[in-house]
Amino acid sequence: MVEVRIHKAERAPVEEILNAEAQDLDEVVEQVFDRVTDLMLSRDWYVIRAVDDHMAYHWGPYESEAKAKKALGMLVSPGPEPLKASIVKMYRIKEES
User: pTM above the 0.85 mark?
Assistant: no
Domain extent at residue 22: 8-42
Residues 51 and 85 in one domain: yes
| SS3 letters across 60-78 | EEECCHHHHHHHHHCCCCC
Residues 63 and 84 in one domain: yes
Higher per-residue pLDDT: 60 or 5? 60
In a domain, 18, yes or no: yes
Residues 50 and 81 in one domain: yes
Q: Tell me how crowded residue 86 is: count the other CB atoms within 10 A of its CB.
A: 11
Per residue in 16-58, pLDDT (tens digit) is: 999 988 789 999 999 999 999 888 888 899 999 988 777 888 8
In a domain, 21, yes or no: yes
In a domain, 65, yes or no: yes
pLDDT computed for residue 97 by the predictor: 64
Per residue in 55-86, pLDDT (tens digit) is: 888 899 998 999 999 999 888 777 777 778 99
